Structure 1
Amino acid sequence: MNRISPIGCKQRGIAALEFVVSAPLLILLVFAVTELAWAFHQYHTMTRATRDGARYMAANATVGSVGMIYLDATRVQETGNLIVYGNVTGAGAPLLPGWTQGDVAVTSPDAIHVRVSATYDYMPLVGTLPTFYGGEPLNLQFAMQSTVEMRAL
């Protein structure tokens, strides 16, 4: 005889119900972790490129043996290209989507240092999040900034 106990009948479908309740939370968690990892990747790329640009500018900013810092337009342009495109010629696609040389600033705060600043508007994967019970959707875009100051060599 193959009988189903009364307790077994009451337990049918519980696993499916638990999945229906927990699946949206798990999917939301996966999207949140993915978005956070994407933001971290973009910030890391921006800070690494800014550091490389500051190193390039610090190595090429002094003129002769007098040790004076000279920020000529060609070196500033090459530094911007290195930061945005990853090379001094400016060939290829930007390292980050939508990044331009207008987001890079090269200055000399004093007689022996160069400062390179870069900003980037974070581009989220999902765009905006809808809000519950009406209201404006949440925009996940924000500005990232990186500044590196190095002593000119």
Structure 2
Amino acid sequence: MKKLSTDKRKQRGIAAIEFMVSAPLLIVVVFAVTELGWAFHQYHTMTRATRDGARHMASGALIGSVGIIYLETGRVQETGNLVVYGNVAGTGDPLLPQWSAADVTVSSPDASHIRVSANYNYVPLVGRIPAFYGGEPLTLSFQMQSTVEMRAL
């Protein structure tokens, strides 16, 4: 009987040590997967909004039946508002945190197409990694870009 209870104690001790060794790695993996999912969500939101803005701009960029593209200032501003806020009036909160209509550019690369580009500075959930070595903290933010080109209608 004594031998059996000693073996159980040893097994519990080994299991606790294994958990202490593997738990930090598992926590890092969970944070990494969460961060990656958040980045994909924000990139998808940005590309969908850029596509909607390009569709809005392309639908009214041609002047009559002459086939000339005209980038009217009001329509360009509406497009920027549609991309960032989800509506042409520019009311409400931006679709992504810290995003503004100044991050959206509208251009015409040739005589029949419209190009809408959007930039977004992605700031991760973690924010910054503190500098344990005495230097500057590491920032994990990076620039996301989405460009959509459509034929003007």
Q: Secondary structure at the match of 1:33?
A: helix
Q: State the secondary structure of the residue aligned to 2:150.
A: strand
RMSD: 1.5
Normalising by the residue count of structure 1, what TM-score does the alignment of the two structures yield? 0.92
- Structure 1: gaps spanning 5 or more residues: none
1:105-124 aligned at under 5 Å gives the runs 105-124=105-124
**Cα deviation code 1:100-136 (max 9, x no counterpart):** 0110000111111111010000011011123554444
Which amino acid in structure 2 is aligned with residue 147 of structure 1? T
Q: Distance in 2 between matches of 1:71 and 1:12?
A: 72
Give the match for residue 14 of structure 1: 14
Q: 2: CA distance between counterparts of 1:49 and 1:101?
A: 12
The SS at the match of 2:95 is coil
Aligned mates of 1:66, 1:56 — CA distance in 2: 20
Matched-pair identity in %: 72
> In structure 2, how many angstroms separate the alpha carbons of the residues matched to 1:22 and 1:127?
24
1:77 matched to which residue of 2? 77
Structure 2 unaligned regions, length at least 5: none
**Paired positions, count:** 152
TM-score by length of 2: 0.92
Q: Deviations over 1:3-56 (max 9, x none)?
A: 343434433311111111111111111000001111111111111100110011
